Structure formats: structure tokens, C-alpha cells
Amino acid sequence: MPQPIQITELPVQDAHNLASTGAGTLIDIREPFEWESGSAAGAQRIQMSTLPARYFELPKDQPVLLICASGNRSRMATQFLSELGYDARSVSGGTAAWAAAQLPMDA
């Protein structure tokens, strides 16, 4: 029986550091109405429901940092991408934690 994939959780500051230096790709998987209320600066949007059809758009040569509202959906997306061989990481606490840490946001 295969071993379960260990989900990597990444603190928001670490995710910001990777994304802002180009060492990681930040993907916001929230729904459109959530995205409209603001997002982590520099995040690309691939909502959770379209990820199975669009995952091939993601880079395999650097970490993919997944962010949602609070961290639940990003953990599921991290599991999915990890099983496909991606270096996927869930941003702990999601955009709520990102905003609370006063990290840059896009309107």
C-alpha cells in the first residue's frame, strides 16, 4: 500500500519570501467572489474547481505555493499536486493570515 503524501505547510512570511524573490509560484485557489475582496500580492488565480484541468500550467522546477482563505482547500490542492510530482506547499492560514501579517495585498 502506498504511503500517504506528507503535506508541507508553509508560514505566510516564508511563502511571501519565496514568491517575491521568484523562488516559488503563488497560486490563489479561491473562488472569484473571494478573489475580488483582495489577494496576496503577485498571486496567480487558478480556482480549486479548475485545478484538475489546469495543473499542467504550473511549473515543476520550483515550489508551487497554494493559498486559499484559511488553509483548508490549499491543503487538499497540495495533496493533489504532490501526488502528481509537484513540489506543492500549502500556505498556513491562507489569505486571512497573509493579511493579518500585513504582507502586501493586491486589490
d(CA 16, CA 40): 8
Is 68 marked active-site? yes
- Please indicate, yes or no, whether the overall pTM of this predicted structure exceeds 0.75: yes
What's the domain range around 53?
8-106
Q: Is residue 3 part of a domain?
A: no
Assign residue 96 the CATH number of its domain: 3.40.250.10
Q: Is 1 part of any domain?
A: no
The answer as to whether 76 is a domain residue is yes
Quickly state the pLDDT bin for 105 (edges 50, 70, 90): very high
DSSP alpha helix (H) spans, the chain: 12-20, 32-35, 51-54, 72-83, 94-100
- 39 DSSP β-pair partners: 106
Residue 107 banded pLDDT, cuts 50, 70, 90: confident
Number of domains in the chain: 1
DSSP 64-86: EEEE-SSSHHHHHHHHHHHHTT-
**Which pLDDT tens digit goes with each residue over 8-53?**
899 999 999 999 999 999 999 999 999 888 999 999 999 999 999 9
Question: Which is catalytic among the residues 12, 26, 68, 81?
Answer: 68
